[in-house]
Amino acid sequence: MQQISLGSLNYEFNRFQEPCVRISSGETIRVESEDALSGQIRKADDLRDKSTVPFSNPLTGPIFIKQAEPGDTLSIKIETIESRDGQCATYTGNPKQLCQWLGTDVPSGAHVCPIRDGFVYWSDEIKIPYQPMLGCIGTTPAYGMPSTMPAGPHGGNMDVREVTEGNTLYLPGFVSGALLYLGDAHAAMGQGELSATGLEMAAQTTLTIELIKQKMISGPRIESSDELITVSSGTPMERATADAFAQLILWMEADYGWNRWRAYDLLTHVAEISMGYYEGGGLAVKIAKEYVAHPS
């Protein structure tokens, strides 16, 4: 298994960047990534200083998948997401839309949380279950050069909790080699990621990447052992919700034999929504496979 060590930090999905590794379909790799705070908060008195490091969500990559071409799909099985340093960090951040009610006199709130025995120790009194996820992972678009802040059809900063261990993420390929980037691991994150900062951690992520030739999907999909999940991002969030539902219906129709209007009806009653960063409009919609197994 190849180990991809931390190199220069990437803050864009850059199709002109030299690949850090070239792999074949079916290969399992282990990828080191820095935390979303660019490593600025390592101990209690550290501060997130955007005057020196203005960008967030540094990524490792790109990873070049041999024989991948535009119109193909990557199947990315997330085997494990491990803390590199046995800790994670967070800070209060800018309350943005909440300033109307909370004001703007915001303390840094930066603190480092140990990770041990399956928990994040947020304080002496409060421990949070360790539920690792990748906030930012994506292929590289064929035009433009999106930063690591927004999400889109390529993936990007989706910040949904379902990009986690044991699940398979499907991403469309737009350029030769697909050029996969990843990072922004969280030890845990609440629905909505209110302060725009999860429990950020440097990580070692193990992935198995397979190439699905000549199958183009319109945006990120996730498959768990018991759910089908589609992801959409953008504002207003109502539009992202509609898009994610539509893509799930079309997936059920194309791959599972469902009539789209029956799927539309069923999702009305059994679908669930998982919310990423609320201001970015990122969310996932999902349905249990037990329902999908009976097309109607």
Say whether pLDDT at 281 is over 90. no
User: Count of CB atoms within 10 A of residue 1's CB?
Assistant: 9
Say whether pLDDT at 94 is over 90. no
Q: Which domains does the chain have, with CATH numbers?
A: 2-212 (2.60.120.580), 226-292 (3.10.28.20)
- pLDDT score, position 225: 97
> How sure is the predictor about 50, in pLDDT bands with cuts at 50, 70 and 90?
confident
**Are 142 and 72 spatial neighbours (Cβ–Cβ below 8 Å)?**
no
Average confidence score pLDDT of the chain: 96
For 129-165, how does the pLDDT look when each residue is reduced to its tens digit (9 = 90+)?
999 999 999 999 999 999 999 999 999 999 999 999 9
Helices 237-256 and 260-270 pack at an angle, to 10 degrees, of 130
- What would the two tokens of residue 199 be? 């429990």
Beta sheet of 133-138, edge-to-edge order: 21-23, 59-65, 180-186, 133-138, 155-156, 151-152
- What would the two tokens of residue 187 be? 């030890």
User: Counting beta carbons within 10 angstroms of the beta carbon of residue 214, is it exposed (0 to 12), middle (13 to 18) or buried (19 or more)?
Assistant: exposed
Tell me the mean pLDDT in the region 119-134.
Answer: 97
Task: Write down how long the chain is.
Answer: 296
Contacts of 15 (CB under 8 A, 6+ apart): 62, 140, 141, 142, 145, 175, 179
Tell me the mean pLDDT in the region 55-70.
Answer: 97
- pLDDT score, position 54: 85
> How sure is the predictor about 51, in pLDDT bands with cuts at 50, 70 and 90?
confident
User: What percent of the residues of the chain are helix, what percent strand, and what percent coil, each to the nearest 5?
Assistant: 15, 35, 50
DSSP string, 40-51: ---STT----TT
For 230-255, how does the pLDDT look when each residue is reduced to its tens digit (9 = 90+)?
999 988 999 999 999 999 999 999 99
Cα–Cα distance for residue pair 2/27, rounded to 1 Å: 9
- Pairing of β 21-23 and β 59-65: parallel
Contacts of 47 (CB under 8 A, 6+ apart): 40, 41, 91, 108, 110
> How sure is the predictor about 33, in pLDDT bands with cuts at 50, 70 and 90?
very high
- pLDDT score, position 93: 79
Query: Pick from 221, 230, 217: which is nearest to 71 by CA?
Result: 217
**Cis geometry, peptide bond prior to residue 236 (ω within 30 degrees of 0):** yes
- pLDDT score, position 249: 98
% of the chain beyond a pLDDT of 70: 100
% of the chain beyond a pLDDT of 90: 89
**Are 46 and 174 spatial neighbours (Cβ–Cβ below 8 Å)?**
no
